[in-house]
Chain A
């Protein structure tokens, strides 16, 4: 990765984070752009709290036991943001970017987890948001092609 590219990416994420400064009290956790209401929707913790919360335990590819995850369904987030599209480009704090078909969120109960084993996720671990698939409920999900979509440190979703 060349320096300019990296700086630009860092600047983008910083901008996403900093743009929420005016409302810093209501820390923005997730920003949706693209085909959403007014082209941009920011979700704070309060917005998350207003939605239905779900929880399930599942094995992951990077932990030993089966942590208990708690959060809101990805499809609820998309519905909340009035998203219309076929896929989202998920971007993480650590510059990880991956495209996820929106179909996944309707086919499976994919969680935008904010808690793991009752402990809030932070940017120092896999927070603020970790996309978690119900890996143990569907054999097909135990596959590298789905493992790639488990985005942690999720901060932005671009609907397209």
Chain B
């Protein structure tokens, strides 16, 4: 979006906000006006005021015709006078002018004052004046009443008008608010879409990176396997070559020696193929552990036996675990055998031929632990940290046979069974490889 369009959008948004606030302000102002005009003023009570003047005129007329006491006549006279005075004061006078009755009422008060009984006025003249006043007031009462109601009705009209204006303002503000909300929601939607797009792109990049890594791993694996295959094949080839070399007869001792060398090379090839197959199956998640209760003593002893038989090594180099209480773990015996064999072969391979390897089984609160301790060169903490990476070969061991997959595989298989493989430096030199497996909890 160009900057110009951005600006137009912002201006539109600001304009809507202003319209919304302006209309709300207008509505508030109109409501305040409405509230102010809703008060009832006493000056609006002209029907009563005029009616009271009429009644007092009648009262005085009655008192005069009753020929009551002078004091009483004086009181009624004063009260009537006060009523006429009231009619001549500001708000009342204006009302009567508007109603068009002020002229007919003018002069009555001064006429009355001229006939003050206290000044010994002529009672008959006073009576005649009051009677005429009563008639004049009666003639205008209906005009006062209709004018009063006219004013009230107009006032209600004004209130209604204000009310409608306030309503329209509020509705306008609501419309502007809706527009505002629509724009904001649209904006939010765009932002959300942008965010989703970005996430998708990131995921795609991650997938690509992973794919690249996998393919790189495969390439290195293939290289490694090819390299590892070469050594035993060369050994076999060399043995065959020696046996078939022209010249002197081949002694039976030489045949059996070369056969042993060849067989070991073949065994290594088989082992390598097995590991490669296992890795490949693991990558496809093709291996599921068959968990059962097994004594780790028995499993370790079986692995040691197999190793000795297969490789014809010096059995005294490995000190098998002392048989104590049964150490029953919940594990898959085949996978566990693979792990133990892996760790043991590492221990034998990476420590001098004349050094002992200890195997020991113990238990903790939650786990059965099989520790394999060698007295080799050991590993630094940094090496230990990298030891489980795929294809990582220990420094200085590049020439020894190995795939760089053994420890990776061992840890993976252990974790599949709810356990782990952990390497630590052995006190007094060498390395301790510990296999942890969950204890079998007999229900």
By a beta-carbon cutoff of 8 Å, the part of chain A in contact with chain B is: 1, 3, 6, 10, 13-14, 17-18, 61-65, 93-94, 122-126, 142-144, 147-148, 150, 152-153
Within the complex, the shortest CB–CB distance from A62 to chain B, in Å, comes to 6
Report the tally of A-B residue pairs with Cβ distances under 8 A: 69
Asked if A62 and B72 sit within 8 Å, CB to CB, the answer is: no
**Shortest Cβ-Cβ A-B pairs, 9 listed:** A64-B90, A147-B42, A61-B42, A123-B78, A144-B40, A124-B81, A94-B79, A124-B78, A61-B43
Q: Name the prevailing secondary structure of the A interface residues.
A: loop
Q: Which residues of chain A have C-beta atoms less than 8 A from B86's C-beta?
A: 62
Q: Does B75 sit within 8 A of A, measured CB to CB?
A: yes
Q: Does B91 sit within 8 A of A, measured CB to CB?
A: yes
Q: Which residues of chain A have C-beta atoms less than 8 A from B150's C-beta?
A: none
A143 to B40, CA, bound (A): 7
Within the complex, the shortest CB–CB distance from B117 to chain A, in Å, comes to 12
Asked if A6 and B59 sit within 8 Å, CB to CB, the answer is: yes
Q: Name the prevailing secondary structure of the B interface residues.
A: helix
Task: Name the residue in A1, A10, A94, A143 with the highest tally of chain B Cβ atoms < 10 Å from its Cβ.
Answer: A94
* Cβ contact of A143, chosen from B39, B55, B89, cutoff 8 A: B39
Chain B residue at minimal CB-CB distance from A61? B42
A3 to B85, CA, bound (A): 26
Asked if B89 and A123 sit within 8 Å, CB to CB, the answer is: no
A151 to B72, CA, bound (A): 21
* Cβ contact of A64, chosen from B40, B83, B91, cutoff 8 A: B91
Q: Which residues of chain B have C-beta atoms less than 8 A from A10's C-beta?
A: 59, 63, 72, 76
Q: Which residues of chain A have C-beta atoms less than 8 A from B71's C-beta?
A: 14, 17-18
Chain B residue at minimal CB-CB distance from A62? B89
Asked if B89 and A122 sit within 8 Å, CB to CB, the answer is: no
Instruction: Using A62-B42, A125-B82 as known contacts, list a sample of 20 further A-B pairs with CB atoms less than 8 Å apart, ordered by residue number in A.
Output: A10-B59, A10-B72, A13-B75, A14-B69, A14-B71, A14-B72, A14-B75, A17-B75, A62-B90, A63-B91, A64-B90, A93-B79, A93-B82, A94-B56, A123-B75, A123-B78, A123-B79, A125-B85, A144-B39, A153-B79
Q: Does B52 sit within 8 A of A, measured CB to CB?
A: yes
A115 to B90, CA, bound (A): 19
Within the complex, the shortest CB–CB distance from B266 to chain A, in Å, comes to 111
Within the complex, the shortest CB–CB distance from A31 to chain B, in Å, comes to 15
Given A62-B92, A64-B90, A94-B56: A148 and B42 within 8 A (CB)? yes
Asked if A144 and B82 sit within 8 Å, CB to CB, the answer is: no
A65 to B91, CA, bound (A): 10
Within the complex, the shortest CB–CB distance from B235 to chain A, in Å, comes to 112
* Cβ contact of B85, chosen from A14, A18, A124, A150, cutoff 8 A: A124
* Cβ contact of A93, chosen from B52, B55, B78, cutoff 8 A: B78
Q: Does B41 sit within 8 A of A, measured CB to CB?
A: yes
Within the complex, the shortest CB–CB distance from A14 to chain B, in Å, comes to 5
A153 to B56, CA, bound (A): 14
19 A-B residue contacts at CB 8 Å?
Answer: A10-B72, A14-B69, A14-B75, A18-B71, A62-B43, A63-B89, A63-B90, A63-B91, A65-B90, A94-B56, A94-B79, A94-B82, A122-B78, A124-B82, A125-B82, A143-B40, A147-B41, A153-B79, A153-B82
A10 to B73, CA, bound (A): 11
A17 to B78, CA, bound (A): 14
Q: Which residues of chain B have C-beta atoms less than 8 A from A13's C-beta?
A: 75
Q: Which residues of chain A have C-beta atoms less than 8 A from B43's C-beta?
A: 61-62
Q: Which residues of chain A have C-beta atoms less than 8 A from B91's C-beta?
A: 61-64
A18 to B71, CA, bound (A): 9
Q: Which residues of chain A have C-beta atoms less than 8 A from B69's C-beta?
A: 14
Within the complex, the shortest CB–CB distance from A25 to chain B, in Å, comes to 16
Q: Which residues of chain B have C-beta atoms less than 8 A from A61's C-beta?
A: 41-43, 91
A150 to B42, CA, bound (A): 10
Q: Which residues of chain A have C-beta atoms less than 8 A from B75's C-beta?
A: 13-14, 17, 93, 123
Given A10-B72, A63-B89: A144 and B78 within 8 A (CB)? no
